[in-house]
Structure 1
């Protein structure tokens, strides 16, 4: 389980911020998809699932879809709140991680928090931050990995958390914020996309990292990860119920998240050993809602590493797979945000999909905080 960063041994690295962990009970409902898919409990099951998922001309979601059903439940969400040492920031950033990680993606403890977006946001720029383990992941409540833990229910979780935070109703956070920023990474960006579309005036700004709206490259992520049943990976088996899937090797994590020459090999080992599982229901709903024009009215930034595999095929500067005249694959999203106060697309040279974990992470941070400085 992710630990609070208020560690005495690292006092010099984190002295400018105060963080504490939270457990937040929520009651939510969502219109989930119903999939006629048996639990993926063997390696053969998982392999066949992903071969179906990437097969050209086959919509795997539609193949297994039998209808829709409202799913309701009471869940506990594990989260961490951080603020500057002198008190809460005026703006709260609500940060949603992607597949393969828990909330520590935003405050990575490797190398004395050298790869910490939270440290940059709080220590250097005076924001407060709220990170959470997505529903079904990390220390948050788990659920049926096919028909319960899906993007739809996770959007409902983000919506409820955001509402509680705006009302000042989260026990353990004694602050009221005048502005809100929603940021996501990868699948967390898809969740954020759907949240700001459904709540177009909630956030003053939104940041989608490790994201594009080109669906042509997900095969690299799906097959490159060489997913296996979680029960076959000892370091994760005790944390997740049967039916979850995970990336078992450093090679898979490398292909999915790290660009060549842009990472510390020891960090790759750490990321592999501390990875998190995913639910097949998340995979089947990974792109739900992200192909529609977004109603968001705040300021919008998309920032992605140029060598991002799942969203750019390893070259975000290539535009041969999109229609229209755009300087890169990320700028292709501009027409999807016709109501945004401003739109900015940023491609990080040399960066991979796991933007926070590469040597190039400072370039990504600079892009984000320059954007926020001009937008808030």
Structure 2
């Protein structure tokens, strides 16, 4: 099913919501430690190296992650597989609350690969593609941040430092500070703290609640399933090159940071046929952010096994999602995302919504308002 553009009256009302909010940009210091994987892999230094990395990573039947441990692991030993990373970092974030004051709960928003926190509050077309505006209109406050390693947050070494484990530690530190009213510039306190992730941000949200069960009062995992079978589609469709070659805005990133080479790669991985405005596709490409080799190498190992989180869980994924469904989430019954139900034995409520005709970039498609409504209805009813 292809969604039509929103009616002009609705778009106008959404634009009006932009002024009915109070937002501030913040820089949040965090001190964190994580047990990272210790790869012997060299960061790709040329675009030929990048292509070789992508092809090796995507080869069927080969565990490239295990191969990349290489000389760091002695025979019959696991002592060299991991290294503890400890550091102090800065996280760039935006906190918003309704004009009337702090909302009824705080939502922490974690974006995925290829974006920064603007994914949640996309500025093109008068903020008509803004999840933040939709949340504020429902009396929620929001905290959107640039994941550690990119955007206005601290950058780092792209193979063995900026990995999933360290980023989950960052999300935990941010959540703890927000719960304790310890973030400079945010005076409001919240009895309910909720988490919304997109794609890799959903992976991190899943991992956060698996490690710290009481850290959240409810989670929504968008653009997500527990299947790793289709990650090679995303890798090969992404047409990755060195980030500093992809765009002048990414010139400061060192080798080991990768980004899509052209707008077609963004379309393939994020936008379903007939469900997007080409101007938004172009804007998404221009606003694009990189991914590290370390992130790609560690994104698949954290959503395995049972998650003992006891709060409510909602998964919202587009029918045509590429990286988590291979382009058809409804190919099985139950759907590919719904199969995650068995991994949440203690959840107070579990549901899955497949957005008809939508791709992976849910917030930026014509069906975005339906996506926003499903998330906010869930929070209203189950948290």
Residue 161 (1) aligns with residue 174 (2): yes
Q: Mean Cα displacement is larger for which, 284-293 or 162-171?
A: 284-293
Instruction: Report how many residues are paired.
Output: 360
What's the counterpart of residue 90 of structure 2?
Answer: 76
Report the counterpart of residue 303 of structure 1 in structure 2: 316
In structure 2, the residue matched to 1:361 is 368
Structure 2 stretches of 5 or more lacking a match? Answer: 1-13, 73-80
Runs of 4+ in 1 over 2 A off after TM superposition: 10-13, 234-239
Question: What is the deviation of 1:13?
Answer: 4.2
1:239-285 residue CA offsets vs partner (Å, 9 max, x unmatched): 42232110121100001100000000011111111100110000000
Distance, in Å, in 1 between the alignment partners of 2:269 and 2:249 is 18
Match of 1:100 among 114, 128, 131: 114
Match of 2:131 in 1: 117
Distance 2:230 2:246 in 1: 26
- How far apart are 1:238 and its partner, in Å? 2.5
**1:203 equivalent in structure 2:** 216
Are 2:105 and 2:141, in contact at CA under 8 Å, matched by a contact in 1? yes
Q: TM-score, normalised by structure 2?
A: 0.92
CA deviation string 1:326-369 (max 9, x = no partner)? 42111101000000000001100001000000001111112111
Deviation at 1:295, TM superposition (A): 1.0
**C-alpha distance in structure 2 between counterparts of 1:219 and 1:234, whole Å:** 24
Q: TM-score, normalised by structure 1?
A: 0.94
CA RMSD of aligned residues (A): 1.2
Deviations 1:152-206 (A, max 9, x none): 0000000000000000000000100010111100000000000011111221110
Q: Secondary structure at the match of 2:126?
A: coil
Q: Which residue of 2 aligns with 1:346?
A: 353
Gaps of 5+ in 1: 1-9, 320-325
**Residue deviations 1:280-328 (CA, integer Å, cap 9, x gap):** 0000001121012101110000000000011001100001xxxxxx421
1:60 Cα deviation after fit = 1.3
Aligned with residue 277 of structure 1, among 282, 290, 294 = 290
In 1: Cα distance, 2:249 partner to 2:42 partner? 21
Alignment of 1:1-376 (within 5 A): 12-65=16-69, 66=72, 67-122=81-136, 124-319=137-332, 326-376=333-383
Measure the CA separation in 1 of the matches of 2:142 and 2:90.
Answer: 19
CA 1:11–1:239 in 2, change beyond 3 Å: closer, same or farther? farther
